[in-house]
Amino acid sequence: MITPVFTEKSLKLAKEGKYTFWVNVKQDKMSLKALIAKLFGVHVIDIKTVTTSGETKKNNRGVKVTTLRGKKAIVTLKEGEKIDLFEENKK
């Protein structure tokens, strides 16, 4: 399971050739590298992962809510390659 992250920061990184995805927590870097290369037909140079832990917070009604833990992968591609999902459409 790979889901692209579309935030201001991730779109700014995409212009530099670094693409951000939410991935399965149990997935390792080598399997991610192979999966992204297969899905998008690109050459992956580097992968950095960030694991976020689940937190317990209170919402506006005072009810405790637990957020899920997750893992983000920041993928660096070979120079000159890009993933079309992250391209902005100009009008």
Domains and their CATH numbers in the chain: 2-80 (3.30.70.330)
What are residue 43's phi and psi, to 5 degrees? Answer: -105, 120
**Taking the complete model, does pTM exceed 0.85, yes or no?**
no
3-state SS class at 88: coil
Is the pLDDT reported for residue 91 higher than 60?
no
Question: Over 90: is that where the pLDDT of 20 sits?
Answer: yes
Model confidence band, residue 90 (pLDDT cutoffs 50, 70, 90)? low
